[in-house]
Structure 1
Amino acid sequence: MSRSPGVMHTDKVLDVLAGGGAPSDLSASWRRSGHLHALDPASRLPSHRLSQADIAAAQQRLGGFLKVAQSTLDRLFLAVGGVGCSVLLADRDGVVVDRRGAGADDATFDAWGLWTGAVWSEKYEGTNGIGTCIVEKRPLSIDREQHFFTRNSGLFCTTAPIFDEHGELAAALDVSSCRADLTGGFSRLIATTVTDAARTIEAENFRRAFPDARILLTPKSERAVNSLLAVDRDDLVIGATRAARRALGLNAASLARPLPAADLIGETRDAGDLAAAERAALQRALARAGGNVSKAARDLDMSRATLHRKLKQLGLHR
């Protein structure tokens, strides 16, 4: 007597939890689901959902970030909604705070838990696109039987993380489908589209966070629209996206002190007048000298008294 696909999937997950099965990228997530969160792959409990008050609180915590994401969510849905896909935006706890879906598919998506207020963290849903993306902080796809729960083994999910202006994980963007006829090529195309959309949201949020700054794309990152630096009027770096931090070796400590953009990317502002150019040059010299006026003066080949006078004329402080 042959076993049902559901029983076979449950047995496969249990085999991995017992230490068997071939190693894979999903093994660690399945083990987190079973050992850390004590989940049963055969469980048929419905998805965990928050109350309306808790949903509103989660949305409020995202603040302006949620507003920034709206136009990108709309464009993404226009691209994938017509082929039976749902677009979900979840916060860093896996709570779905916004969604897009065709009205004709609402009942189906609701039944699968692809709905605002559903919690798709690994703690509640085991291995899945949103939850595993949040833990591993990388774009990934979880296709059907790669899910931990047997009840989710009919879903295809592809998810990309979204990082805030400080380089910290803020949300996850997901496209999910319960269609059985999704081809591998089409699935990969959706995954690429989701990753690009997540990068767009990151970039737009970064610009919102630094409205008065000049935004620079880091060198050799023309395709990485989210690898950005925020530079003030004196060409000092005041912010960097996660992608830029990784590309340039930056961290919170290095960004906490004055950092000339020219030292990172070899580019300075095309100043409109000599005073602006001189001001920027002095600021960069002070930044490189760690605020030490004597050292900055030596680097600029001028006396300390001359540098003090120029700083006073330009309204600059140590």
Structure 2
Amino acid sequence: MARPSQRPHAEQVRAVLEDGTAARSTIAASWRRCMTLYRLDPERAVPPPILPEAAMRERRERLGALVAAAQPVMERLLQATGGMGCCVLLTDRDGVPVERRGHGSDDRQFRDWGLWTGALWNEAHAGTNGIGTCLAERRALTVHRDQHFHTFHAGLSCTTVPVFDHAGELAGALDVSSCRADLTEQVSGLIAAATAEAARRIEERNFRHAFPRARIVLADETAPSGAAPGALLAIDADDLVVGATRAARLALGITAERLRRPLPAADLLDGGRDGAPEDDLGRAERAALQRALARAGGNVSATASALGLSRATLHRKLRRLGLRGRE
């Protein structure tokens, strides 16, 4: 594919930066960082640098379970977008792709562009681009063709979504890039939606892996702040919250400090309770008896035996709590 002429794009970058109104956009703000903070030249015509294999491998291992969680999701995302001349990249938080999916027929071209594992795509090295600017802004975005800072990248269209780890910290980004000149705005919108959904699935898979013994609960519309895609809580056997995704933290106002102390799940999902502690004990006892009855098929004798209680004691508890079993 022929490169676009260099001079017009470089002049466009400089003209936008001189226009104070236009410079308030996300892309222009990134261009300004590239020009004034990183001292980059928009006419630069080289792909991003590639890290040594050992350094790239170390970064991949550092992401650990997140890479494993991403692999099947990236395969499905490639199936959805690969026919449109796209490749799929998972990067670390420094903008280095550690996992890649693409069709072999496109590999040579993508390698020439630097869309390959080990390439350094942060803004300081690669200018305005989907990966680097997404990580700088910590939000999903698309950098389409000549919105890139460097003329060398002006033929690319990159859609990127940040990926957060099980503790709600920025871990990296999921990117779908295309060098097709005929990529329409409508198709870009579909790619953006598919990429966002894939990123949330990666976060969910990684979150479940991080809390294998916990009950994973979706914070739904009953939550005080309403639901958010990917708002998951990890709840232990004592009904205490032991983990929360970034979406859940934002929706429910959960801070790292709150998670360091015992945090009852009911206080989050029910908007907090004002009842006395004995009310909670009564609810817990009732729930425990209901579970024991269910496991015993409602048989009182079997339930009493399983709980280590006499039948008479269990009957008194059932009457007090308004529960019934069968003999």
Q: For the structure 1 residues 223 and 196, does the alpha-carbon distance in structure 2 shift closer, same or farther, using more than 3 Å as the test?
A: farther
Shift of 1:9: 1.3
Verify the 8 A CA contact 1:17 1:35 in the aligned structure 2: no
> Tell me, which stretches of 5 or more residues in structure 1 are unaligned?
278-318
CA RMSD between the two structures = 2.3
The amino acid across from 1:157 in the alignment is C
SS at match of 1:273: helix
User: How far apart are the structure 2 equivalents of 1:181 and 1:124?
Assistant: 28
User: How far apart are the structure 1 equivalents of 2:291 and 2:258?
Assistant: 25
Residue 64 of structure 1 corresponds to 65
Verify the 8 A CA contact 1:16 1:31 in the aligned structure 2: no
The amino acid across from 1:22 in the alignment is A
User: How far apart are the structure 1 equivalents of 2:52 and 2:115?
Assistant: 15
User: How far apart are the structure 1 equivalents of 2:286 and 2:42?
Assistant: 62
Residue 16 of structure 1 corresponds to 16
> Tell me, which stretches of 5 or more residues in structure 2 are unaligned?
272-282, 293-327
Shift of 1:225: 4.5
Verify the 8 A CA contact 1:15 1:21 in the aligned structure 2: no
Q: For the structure 1 residues 240 and 140, does the alpha-carbon distance in structure 2 shift closer, same or farther, using more than 3 Å as the test?
A: same
Q: TM-score, normalised by structure 1?
A: 0.81
1:273 matches 2:270: no
Residue 181 of structure 2 corresponds to 180
User: How far apart are the structure 2 equivalents of 1:77 and 1:26?
Assistant: 27
User: How far apart are the structure 2 equivalents of 1:28 and 1:10?
Assistant: 16
Shift of 1:5: 4.8
Residue 119 of structure 1 corresponds to 120
Q: Deviations over 1:70-115 (max 9, x none)?
A: 1001110111112210111110000010111110111100011111
Residue 198 of structure 1 corresponds to 199
SS at match of 1:259: coil
Shift of 1:258: 0.8
Q: Deviations over 1:272-303 (max 9, x none)?
A: 633989xxxxxxxxxxxxxxxxxxxxxxxxxx
SS at match of 1:26: helix
Q: Deviations over 1:219-254 (max 9, x none)?
A: 229984511001111111111000000000111111
Residue 144 of structure 2 corresponds to 143
SS at match of 2:22: coil
Q: For the structure 1 residues 207 and 233, does the alpha-carbon distance in structure 2 shift closer, same or farther, using more than 3 Å as the test?
A: same
1:27 matches 2:42: no
Residue 215 of structure 2 corresponds to 214
Residue 249 of structure 2 corresponds to 245
**Greater shift after overlay, 52-61 or 8-17?**
8-17
User: How far apart are the structure 2 equivalents of 1:146 and 1:58?
Assistant: 29
The number of residue pairs the alignment matches comes to 274
User: How far apart are the structure 1 equivalents of 2:229 and 2:151?
Assistant: 38
Shift of 1:271: 7.6
User: How far apart are the structure 2 equivalents of 1:189 and 1:223?
Assistant: 23
Matches within 5 A, 1:81-100: 81-100=82-101
Residue 226 of structure 1 corresponds to 230
Q: TM-score, normalised by structure 2?
A: 0.79
Q: Deviations over 1:35-66 (max 9, x none)?
A: 11110000113321111111111111111111
User: How far apart are the structure 2 equivalents of 1:45 and 1:175?
Assistant: 21
Structure 1 stretches of 4+ with a deviation exceeding 3 A read: 16-21, 221-225, 267-272, 274-277
The amino acid across from 1:198 in the alignment is A
User: How far apart are the structure 2 equivalents of 1:114 and 1:137?
Assistant: 20
Shift of 1:266: 2.1
User: How far apart are the structure 2 equivalents of 1:192 and 1:216?
Assistant: 24
SS at match of 1:162: strand
Shift of 1:16: 3.4
The amino acid across from 2:121 in the alignment is W
SS at match of 1:229: strand
Q: For the structure 1 residues 270 and 141, does the alpha-carbon distance in structure 2 shift closer, same or farther, using more than 3 Å as the test?
A: farther
Q: Deviations over 1:164-217 (max 9, x none)?
A: 011000010000000000111011000000000000000110000000001110
**Greater shift after overlay, 157-166 or 6-15?**
6-15
User: How far apart are the structure 2 equivalents of 1:14 and 1:128?
Assistant: 17
User: How far apart are the structure 2 equivalents of 1:262 and 1:142?
Assistant: 42
User: How far apart are the structure 2 equivalents of 1:91 and 1:66?
Assistant: 10
User: How far apart are the structure 1 equivalents of 2:19 and 2:35?
Assistant: 12
Shift of 1:141: 0.3
Larger-gyration structure (1/2): 2
Q: For the structure 1 residues 269 and 229, does the alpha-carbon distance in structure 2 shift closer, same or farther, using more than 3 Å as the test?
A: farther
